[in-house]
Amino acid sequence: MGTVARNSGLFAAGIFESEAPAPYSAILSCIQSVLQQLLTQHNETLASLVVAIRTAFEPNSGIGIIYDLIPELKYFFKESEIPESRDFTLNHAIARFHALILKLIRVISTHFFMTWLIDDIHNADENSISLLSTLVNVNKRLPMILIMTHRDTVECLSKVKQILGGNDV
Q: What would the pLDDT profile of 117-155 be if each residue is shown by its tens digit?
A: 999 998 999 999 999 998 888 767 788 999 998 888 777
Residue 147 and residue 115 in contact, taking contact as beta carbons nearer than 8 Å? yes
User: Which pLDDT belongs to residue 9?
Assistant: 86
Query: Which of 26 and 166 is assigned the larger pLDDT?
Result: 26
Predicted confidence (pLDDT) per residue in 44-101, tens digit: 778 888 889 988 987 777 788 888 889 898 888 876 566 565 555 556 788 889 999 9
Any bridge partners for residue 14, and if so which? 118
Rounded CA-CA distance 9/130 in Å is 26
Instruction: Identify the pLDDT of residue 37.
Output: 93
DSSP 112: S
Please name the residues in contact with 26: beta carbons below 8 A apart, sequence gap of 6 or more. 14, 15, 16, 118, 119, 120, 121, 124, 128
**Rounded distance, CA 57 to CA 77, Å?**
9
Residue 31 is predicted with a pLDDT of: 96
The single-letter code of the amino acid at 24 is Y
With 80 as the cut, is the pLDDT of residue 19 above it?
A: yes
The pLDDT assigned to 163 comes to 83
